[in-house]
């Protein structure tokens, strides 16, 4: 009897750990299953991965395809709090829907910015320069990179440098409102090498360069190798580097592609000019190459000498390109 009772107790004690282990396993399995189901079914722990696509369509006016493209940079967002703040701030600063879309298209990550830390100081910087609300909008639409950079470490030094090059803050602001990217050219990689090349290798004093930059600051912002190529083209025209017209010739060539330049040579040959006569005209008046020549000497006479425009179009067609398409565009703009 006693032996039977002992065996019964031992069996119960040996089975107890196994029982407890199985019960703990079942608890853990049930608990993890419930948690997983809550995430999958309830959906409250992670948002719809496509919610920013819908947001960009409804709040910014992008097309679904545009929104899908731009949302890729915003995949880490888990709410619309920051985008809402950014959009409300930009609207309060005078941006309309089209302007907002242009800025966001340039870099969708602007929607992740902290308004007080990242955006408001840039707008205040521009206001302190004396720009009106509409001027600020224009400046940012042309140079949205303003929103990227720190005011004191980057924007203020850039402003001071361009002031010294152009001679006045007013000119810097004028070009900032209408020009793209000239303001952000690298000092070390672009501006200083170009100025040094013009001064040391071409013999052009910086004061003479500054005079030209006041009307065309983009000229000094081009790649150094591009500037050297322009100098080579000016040399081919026979323009002496010591001439005061040398820099103006470089600017004119900078604004006229090589293909368009060749088309103009062909045009003047059709009038009976020789290549030397063409080069002589450019040396005497480099603006002979700009769009301004068209506006001043050709388009005003289109009524009395309508064949001029036909000659221009024909010259461009013979070259197999549309390098002289400005003739028809200017004609439409003046009508």
Instruction: Report DSSP letters for 208-253, one per residue.
Output: HHHHHHTT-GGGGGS-HHHHHHHHHHHHHTT--TTSTHHHHHHHHH
Q: How far is 27 from 36, CA to CA, in rounded Å? A: 14
Q: Is the pLDDT of residue 32 over 50?
A: no
DSSP state of 72: G
Any residues with CB less than 8 A from the CB of 241 and at least 6 apart, and which? 202, 203, 204, 231, 235
Q: How far is 206 from 213, CA to CA, in rounded Å? A: 10
pLDDT at 324: 36
Q: Is the pLDDT of residue 117 over 90?
A: yes
Pull the structure tokens for residue 13: 């004690």
Interval 7-35 mean pLDDT? 42
Q: Is the pLDDT of residue 315 over 60?
A: no
Lowest-confidence segment of 57-71, 190-204, 257-271 by average pLDDT: 257-271
More confident residue, 64 or 3: 64
Question: CA distances (Å), 29 to each of 19, 26, 45, 143, in order?
Answer: 16, 5, 21, 58
> What is the percentage of the chain residues whose pLDDT exceeds 90?
39
pLDDT at 125: 94
Question: CA distances (Å), 286 to each of 4, 38, 40, 126, 262, in order?
Answer: 120, 75, 71, 36, 15
Which residue is associated with the tokens 């030094």?
157
* pLDDT tens readout for residues 290-303: 756 555 656 566 56
Which residue is associated with the tokens 């004119």?
252
More confident residue, 25 or 47: 47
191, 176, 190, 189: which is closest to 144 by C-alpha?
176
Q: Is the pLDDT of residue 327 over 70?
A: no
Interval 219-238 mean pLDDT? 92
Interval 37-48 mean pLDDT? 39
pTM (whole model) above 0.75: no
* pLDDT tens readout for residues 131-179: 999 999 999 999 898 999 999 999 998 888 899 889 898 998 888 888 7
Which residue is associated with the tokens 């019964």?
8
Contact 90, 103 (CB under 8 A): yes
Q: Which burial class, exposed, middle or buried, applies to 104 when counting CB atoms under 10 A from its CB (0-12, 13-18, 19+)?
A: buried
pLDDT at 333: 33
């Amino acid at each position: 009897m006693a032996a039977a009772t002992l065996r019964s107790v031992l069996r119960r004690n040996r089975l107890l750990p196994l029982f407890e282990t199985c019960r703990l396993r079942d608890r853990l399995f049930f608990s993890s299953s419930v948690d997983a189901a809550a995430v999958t079914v309830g959906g409250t722990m992670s948002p719809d991965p496509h919610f920013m696509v819908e947001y960009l369509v409804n709040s910014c006016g992008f097309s679904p395809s545009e929104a899908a493209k731009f949302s890729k940079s915003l995949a880490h967002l888990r709410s619309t709090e920051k985008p809402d703040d950014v959009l409300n701030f930009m609207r309060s600063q005078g941006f309309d829907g089209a302007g907002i879309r242009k800025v966001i298209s340039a870099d969708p990550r602007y929607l992740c910015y902290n308004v007080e830390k990242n955006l408001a100081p840039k707008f205040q910087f521009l206001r302190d320069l004396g720009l009106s609300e509409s001027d600020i909008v224009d400046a940012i639409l042309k140079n949205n990179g303003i929103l990227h950079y720190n005011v004191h470490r980057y924007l203020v030094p850039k402003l001071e440098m361009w002031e010294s090059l152009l001679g006045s803050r007013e000119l810097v602001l004028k070009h900032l409102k209408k020009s793209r990217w000239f303001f952000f050219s690298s000092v070390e990689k672009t501006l200083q090498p170009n100025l040094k090349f013009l001064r040391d290798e071409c013999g052009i004093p910086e004061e003479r360069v500054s005079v030209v930059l006041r009307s065309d600051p983009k000229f000094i912002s081009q790649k150094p190798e591009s500037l050297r190529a322009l100098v080579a083209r000016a040399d081919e025209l026979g323009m002496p580097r010591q001439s005061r017209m040398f820099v103006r010739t470089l600017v004119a060539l900078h604004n006229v592609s090589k293909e368009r330049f060749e088309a103009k040579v062909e045009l003047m040959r059709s009038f009976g000019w020789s290549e030397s006569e063409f080069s002589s005209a450019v040396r005497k008046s480099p603006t002979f190459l700009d769009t301004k020549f068209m506006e001043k000497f050709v388009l005003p006479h289109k009524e009395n000498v309508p064949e001029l425009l036909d000659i221009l179009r024909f010259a461009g067609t013979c070259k197999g390109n549309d390098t002289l398409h400005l003739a028809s565009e200017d004609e439409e703009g003046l009508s």
